[in-house]
Amino acid sequence: MRELYPAIEPYRQGMLKVSNLHTIYFEESGNPQGKPVVILHGGPGGGSQPLYRQYFNPDLWRIVQFDQRGCGKSTPHAELIENSTWHLVEDIETLRKYLNIDCWVVSGGSWGSTLALAYSETYPEYCQALILRGIFMVRRKELEWFYQEGAGYFFPEAWEQYVELIPIDERHDMIAAYYRRLTSDDCQVRSQAARAWSVWEASTSKLIPDLDLIARFGTEDFAEAFARLECHYFMNKGFFMSEMQLLENIDRIRHIPTTIVQGRYDVVCPMFTAWELHQAFSEAEFIVVPDAGHSMTEGGIRSALIEAGDRLVP
């Protein structure tokens, strides 16, 4: 089982204005002359984390992270206007140019895997390799599994807390019901809904629930951006022209060396999505971790991700 690389601090931090409304936070860590990798966080709305730096050898990698629109240190906080998949794809490309990077490795898990696929299919010429984890493609069956029915069978006590906020006559469409509350003019209604939405995801993210993770997701500042942005994207079907768009465009990236890492018992982004990507993209290395859920911190997933990165550097 691989351990994380030592904790490091960024050697550069900055704010990059990407529109008249939005400014994104970015940072660079590791070796300024190393192989560039951009790490795309989950959510949408999850924000970058110091821990992500520790998945790549800091002596060999130039590690780039940024907070996507509306979350983390990016401003304005929890903003839904001018916030879509394609805005984020262009932000990644704007950041690449700003940092004078010719080509980079793109790594992302959960929503980060969605964004990595969308970016690489749009700009394959700038992607040297892909490292994907916990595959998510914002399709109806994935959203209904986690937010409407399915995942609750595995975590009934957490499910009960998630649904109890919504009156019975609205529970036929939980995402829409939450969206009404997350966009309410009443800050108390928004806050209550944001916490319930976020805690549901945190409660199901690991094979063995993590009380510290649940507490962090339940904090007001994190939950507001996380829940509002996720629900906004899901109400808009990921802003894709069709829910099969990412699979239909695999030919654009078939030549890019890719590793897919998936926890067997991931209930947030269930195995069937990764399997369908594997079937469409047989050239990619496909690693199923037999004793893991969704979180990148679980031992088997952590090891597979670190080893995937190590294989890409001398």
Enzyme catalytic residues: 110, 266, 294
Give the residues across from 66 on adjacent strands. 26
CA distances from residue 150 to 45, 48, 195, 236 in whole angstroms, order as listed: 23, 29, 21, 21
Residues 6+ apart with CB under 8 A from 251: none
3-state DSSP call for residue 297? coil
Other Cβ atoms closer than 10 A to 272 = 12
Query: Considering Cα of 141, then 216, then 205, then 36, what sign does the dihedral take?
Result: positive
Q: Which of 130, 231, 28, 84 is nearest to 223 (CA)?
A: 231
Contact present, 142 and 269 (Cβ < 8 Å): yes
The first and second tokens of residue 74, run together, are 């990016």
